Chain A
Amino acid sequence: MAMLPLMMNSHGHAWNRRRFLRGMLRAGGGAALFPALIPATALGRAGRAAPGERIVMGAIGLGGRGRYDLGAFLNNPDVQVVAVCDCRRERREQGKQIVDRKYGNQDCRMIADFHDLLAREDIDAVLIATGDNNHSMVSIAAARAGKDMYCEKPMSVAITEGRAVVEAVRRHARVFQCGTQRRSIARFRFAVDLARSGALGRLQTLYAEKAPMNPEWSFATLPEEPLPPKEEFDWDTWLGPAPWRPYNHRYADRQFWKSHLDFSGGAINEWGSHTADLCQMAADADDSGPVEFEPWQDTIVAHYASGVKLVFEKGVWPLHVRFVGDRGSVYVDDDGNLETDPPSLRANREFGRGYPAENHVRNFLDCVKSRQDPIASVETAHRSVSVCHIANICRFLGRPLRWNPQREEFEGDEQANRMRSRAFREPWIL
């Protein structure tokens, strides 16, 4: 890329990365950054982009999803991952192995505290795939540190946190992509386009699936266990801004914390981050949202001002959405199925299966270069996950709620308004 981010040398002069690398080589100071030898790839050979063209990245959070995303980033020749960070030692080592194997060296740094990774001025962008509870905190810190970011979904666990991320990203002129990768998958985009183009007629109902998860864990607590060594598992960082509780290893089990509303958003948020997001896109509501929510049978129904209805459906594999208009409908899922009524709406188009992140990652990298908003921009992501947060609030309170998307406030329900935010546990900063 022709873009040359500036860095400051010790004399306060502006440097760009290419000059910086040359300077380090001339001064024999390469060892400070690169152990022993500069690999050929660092000089732009072996099919990889030259240093000035590259986006230098760090990865924060290396659980299963983080490692998958990391692989998707590493497949891009204009990306160089230089550091990995996780509050668990085992995962830091796994991340480093993935990066070092890709580059054929041992250069990738392991960092325990994400602040230390964000303080590295050679890093342009970060992958944030921590637990959901820490997404907003790390995103805001990344924006303040001047990093662009690809943040896994959901981008927040409370409405005001999401707005804080939007403000941080906008105020620091950063590029933010939320990991709602179905926005970049042709089959899902086609379904959304059918809804938006009027091909289904006047939109009536959008169906968003909830994940099949255990609702009994929404607020569950676990008995205290002895703390593991901080170097192995930094519980204070894992717990992040969530309210304090004594340690128990089961909290960190993915199935458990994904179901728990202190750490994520349960069934509604787990799949709703994708399915409600696609419904928002289909309803052309990327910068607003429904205005009414009501409990209905075992789920939540939301209503847009346009009259379109959004129904959270009970989750059944594979993840899917359904858009219904007065002249047609479309169903699309993760298994590659796309069904339209009438069938001619599909117009013989063929689509692949699965839900890979490659296109979504590429969209982010292109936007880092062009400074354009990616397809799952920060405002879009905030609005979509807000729909899930409000549905959870509605479910807890068990009564209909009126939502003002402009003011991002509930109308006439003080209790609901108190649930828009949560206090950040110290020492974490919102």
Chain B
Amino acid sequence: MRSPSHLLSLAALTWAFVVPGQTASNPEQPAAPLDRLLAHLPHVEYGDDRAPLDALDRYVAAAGADQALRARLEESFIAVLAGDATLAAKDYACRSLRLVGSPKCVPALAALLSHPQLSSLARYGLEPLPYPEVDAALREALPRLPARLQIGVLTSLGARRDPMAVPVIRPLTAADDLRLAEAAMVALAKIGTPEAVTALADLHEQTTGRRRLLAAQSLIEGAWRLIERGQAGRAVPWLEALYAKHLRPDLREAAFEALVAAEPRKAAGRLLAALRSGEERLTRLAGQLVARRPGTRTPPRLLRALPDLPPVGRAALLDAIAARRDRTAREAVLARLDDAEPAVRSAAVRALGSVGNAEDVSRLARLAAAADDLAPVARRSLLDLAAPGVPPALAALARTPDTPPAVRVVCLQVLAERNLTGQAGAAVRCLKDADPGVRLAAARTLAVIGQQKQLPALLQRLPRANDDAEAQALLAALGQVARRVGPPAMATLAPALTDSPADLRARLLGVLPGVGGHDALAAVREALKDDSPAVRGAAVRALSAWPDSSAAADLLQLVRQPRDEAERTLAFRGYVRMIREAGLDPRARLEHLQTAMELARTIEERRLVVGATSDIVSTDALEWTARYLDDPALANEAGAAVVRIAQALGPEHSARTLPLIEKVLERVTAKPVRDSARLLQRRWRQLDGR
């Protein structure tokens, strides 16, 4: 037996050495101690430190390109299997022979096939070895093993598809132990030679009950092997029998699918028969098989039959046409838009989204504007319609006054959902429409697809809005477009910020944080001096929402010298928000928050500051925040932040974070925070192996 001290020193040594496959940072480091690793191997136990085996793994991997090393390792592992090594050592040797084994190791592994614990490991080593000796060993072992171990060997013979194993496997399909019989059937199916599949077909014919069902399942799998081997003709009679017998619905469906694959020339006829059958599951399956056929064109025979199929068949075929994106079937699809069956109409509308063109925009938009179950389907199809000319067709329909308003609204919404920025001009035209719904939809569409070119039109319409809803939609659109455009938007906005009435100036100031940049900030600073209290208030709000740290000094100035308390509160909150969102580096964020803490007047403001540290991934932030765990009024916020920072820092900092997590559990009363802390504590401890 090994001594523990020997193991410890060995583990320490192996980690210190360079082993194959690792990059040597120091060329003077000694070579890996392979001899010592191999000498130690027979003594390893389950649960030992795996460092020596990890080091040995590197040699096993390196042996792929080193024949001498490979032979040496194989010889050592064979010796481990043959000797009185521990189970854990033999386990490792089996696994490693999988990667370095040659025909030479087969007898040693095969000798373990009857071992109650190591049999599976012996096969683990044997199964992937590409040598006929392995097949012979498995065939030879099979008859003399107990049933449980026979199942394993059968699985390996099946995985290796050994045709010579059929005679030894076949008798086991009659075993009393149904699990063993099933394993034998599955192995025959995997082997899939005519001899093997005939054995399954015979069994299926001659047995009853559960064994017959198992035989049918395997027969289908075996038939597929024959199809793949180009021997489909052998499989067809068996599959036809399974299809006709209704043994179980899923078996019938599986047999049908195999039949379609087995005889491509008869496939269309079989699919048509299934589509005509009226059996829902079979029909749906047939539809799927039509969808999966190679190419895009749907067989003409099926298209011709479409009008006369039962409703479920019509719907299934239309779904298949949609999946194939078969544009040649468009006329057939259009004809079904007026089908008497709602499910078929729905399938036709879906299919039109896939195979339609620009001419179908009007029809789909009208269907989408109706208040019925088909409307959402039609809308989806409008979103999917991919043919050239569809975007201008949608835009043309949206701006045509003769079109019903509901249809125009649909078109505008689809322009937005499809993000068709090139068609934004149509929405501008609609801003002045007589219909209020169209005007509103146009503003909302421009919010999504509007560009710099559309800013003047939005700005022009804003003071002319007919009601509050329209004004809000226009302002929102202006804000969104200005945000997308960024600082260049000031070329349009700047004149309005000086020349407009106070209420419009105040509203426009709300847009400026989205615009950002020097000019926009200068405009806000100017507005802080405005005569109008509304404009000044809007300017403070704009500063407090500023997207980067360029407004930090302005906000601090307002906090320190406010005109009133409301202004101070707004500025303080804006300052803390800015610290969180302005993309500052962790150190700068922490310094800003420390400044904010000095200026905080109320407990709510102190809580806000402590909570804001949770996004800063740094150990400094962690420790500064943890200080506030000692203040009962701030402990919950500080605890939540500590947990979040610790989580973001990751397990490599667990030595530093775990004591603080324990402190969180001592001081924090909020259950969600305590739960998160416990979860993190458990996870980190597990990762540490504690």
Looking at chain A's contact residues, the main secondary structure is loop
B254 at interface by CB-CB < 8 Å: yes
Which chain B residues border A413 with CB–CB below 8 Å? 64
User: Which residue from chain A places its CB closest to the CB of B220 in the assembled complex?
Assistant: A171
Cross-chain contact B54 with A219 (CB below 8 angstroms): yes
Closest 9 CB pairs between A and B?
Answer: A146-B250, A223-B47, A426-B152, A425-B120, A398-B21, A371-B284, A415-B64, A423-B123, A418-B128
* Given A173-B253, A219-B53, A372-B288, also A421-B159 (CB < 8 A): yes
Query: Bound state CA distance, A399 and B20, in angstroms?
Result: 11
Which chain A residues border B118 with CB–CB below 8 Å? 244
Q: Which residues from 511 to 556 on chain B have a C-beta closer than 8 Å to any C-beta of chain A?
A: none
Most chain-B Cβ atoms within 10 A of its Cβ — which of A5, A348, A422, A429? A429
User: Which residue from chain B places its CB closest to the CB of A172 in the assembled complex?
Assistant: B254
Cross-chain contact B159 with A171 (CB below 8 angstroms): no
List 16 A–B pairs whose Cβ atoms lie within 8 Å, in order of A's numbering.
A7-B249, A121-B248, A144-B217, A173-B256, A219-B53, A221-B46, A221-B47, A243-B95, A398-B62, A422-B124, A426-B119, A426-B120, A426-B150, A429-B151, A429-B183, A430-B159
Query: Bound state CA distance, A418 and B53, in angstroms?
Result: 20
Q: Pick the contact of B155 from A171, A417, A430 — CB < 8 Å?
A: A430
* Given A214-B687, A221-B50, also A425-B152 (CB < 8 A): yes
Q: Pick the contact of A171 from B120, B158, B258, B281 — CB < 8 Å?
A: B258
* Given A316-B650, A398-B21, A421-B159, also A370-B448 (CB < 8 A): no
Query: Bound state CA distance, A319 and B258, in angstroms?
Result: 41
Query: Bound state CA distance, A171 and B192, in angstroms?
Result: 14
Q: Contact residues of A with B, CB < 8 Å?
A: 2-8, 14, 121, 144, 146-147, 160, 167-168, 170-174, 212-214, 216, 219-224, 243-246, 248, 253, 255-256, 316-317, 343-344, 347-348, 369-373, 396-399, 413-430
Which chain B residues border A146 with CB–CB below 8 Å? 248-251
Cross-chain contact B249 with A223 (CB below 8 angstroms): no
Cross-chain contact B120 with A371 (CB below 8 angstroms): no
Query: Bound state CA distance, A420 and B128, in angstroms?
Result: 9
Known: A396-B61, A414-B64. 15 other contacts (CB 8 A): A5-B249, A173-B285, A221-B48, A244-B118, A245-B46, A256-B686, A316-B648, A317-B648, A347-B419, A371-B285, A398-B62, A421-B127, A427-B151, A427-B152, A430-B186
Cross-chain contact B159 with A160 (CB below 8 angstroms): yes
B135 at interface by CB-CB < 8 Å: no
Query: Bound state CA distance, A144 and B217, in angstroms?
Result: 6
User: Which residue from chain A places its CB closest to the CB of B62 in the assembled complex?
Assistant: A398
Which chain A residues border B647 with CB–CB below 8 Å? 317
Cross-chain contact B155 with A429 (CB below 8 angstroms): yes
Query: Bound state CA distance, A123 and B506, in angstroms?
Result: 65
User: Which residue from chain A places its CB closest to the CB of B47 in the assembled complex?
Assistant: A223
Which chain B residues border A5 with CB–CB below 8 Å? 249, 281
Which chain A residues border B448 with CB–CB below 8 Å? 347-348
Query: Bound state CA distance, A311 and B64, in angstroms?
Result: 25
Which chain B residues border A168 with CB–CB below 8 Å? 221
Looking at chain B's contact residues, the main secondary structure is helix
User: Which residue from chain A places its CB closest to the CB of B70 in the assembled complex?
Assistant: A415
Closest chain A CB from B443 CB (angstroms): 13
Mask, B58-80, CB within 8 Å of A = 1, is 10011111000000000000000
Q: Pick the contact of B124 from A220, A399, A423 — CB < 8 Å?
A: A423
Q: How many A-B pairs with Cβ below 8 Å?
A: 196
Which chain B residues border A256 with CB–CB below 8 Å? 686
Which chain B residues border A212 with CB–CB below 8 Å? 650-651, 687
- Residue tally, chain B, CB below 8 Å to A: 87
User: Which residue from chain B places its CB closest to the CB of A242 in the assembled complex?
Assistant: B120
Q: Pick the contact of A421 from B50, B128, B648 — CB < 8 Å?
A: B128
Query: Bound state CA distance, A213 and B480, in angstroms?
Result: 42
Cross-chain contact A418 with B98 (CB below 8 angstroms): yes
Query: Bound state CA distance, A255 and B169, in angstroms?
Result: 41
Cross-chain contact B246 with A6 (CB below 8 angstroms): yes
B637 at interface by CB-CB < 8 Å: no
Closest chain A CB from B105 CB (angstroms): 13
* Given A253-B686, A426-B149, also A219-B50 (CB < 8 A): yes
Cross-chain contact B155 with A423 (CB below 8 angstroms): yes
* Given A348-B447, A430-B155, also A417-B128 (CB < 8 A): yes
Which chain A residues border B54 with CB–CB below 8 Å? 219
B607 at interface by CB-CB < 8 Å: no
Cross-chain contact B251 with A424 (CB below 8 angstroms): no
Which chain B residues border A347 with CB–CB below 8 Å? 419, 448-449
B561 at interface by CB-CB < 8 Å: no
Q: Pick the contact of B99 from A6, A14, A317, A418 — CB < 8 Å?
A: A418
Which chain B residues border A428 with CB–CB below 8 Å? 151, 155
Query: Bound state CA distance, A421 and B650, in angstroms?
Result: 34
Which chain B residues border A147 with CB–CB below 8 Å? 250
Query: Bound state CA distance, A69 and B64, in angstroms?
Result: 43
Most chain-A Cβ atoms within 10 A of its Cβ — which of B152, B220, B247, B480? B152
* Given A370-B319, A430-B155, also A244-B120 (CB < 8 A): yes
Query: Bound state CA distance, A127 and B484, in angstroms?
Result: 45
B162 at interface by CB-CB < 8 Å: no
Cross-chain contact A426 with B61 (CB below 8 angstroms): no
Cross-chain contact B287 with A371 (CB below 8 angstroms): yes
Most chain-A Cβ atoms within 10 A of its Cβ — which of B64, B220, B257? B64
Mask, B96-129, CB within 8 Å of A = 1, is 0011100000000000000001111101101111
Query: Bound state CA distance, A246 and B127, in angstroms?
Result: 22
* Given A343-B484, A418-B99, also A424-B155 (CB < 8 A): yes
* Given A5-B281, A317-B648, also A172-B155 (CB < 8 A): no
B91 at interface by CB-CB < 8 Å: yes
Cross-chain contact B127 with A423 (CB below 8 angstroms): yes
User: Which residue from chain B places its CB closest to the CB of A239 in the assembled complex?
Assistant: B120
* Given A3-B284, A244-B120, A421-B159, also A172-B128 (CB < 8 A): no
Cross-chain contact A243 with B689 (CB below 8 angstroms): no
Query: Bound state CA distance, A398 and B284, in angstroms?
Result: 48
Which chain A residues border B572 with CB–CB below 8 Å? none
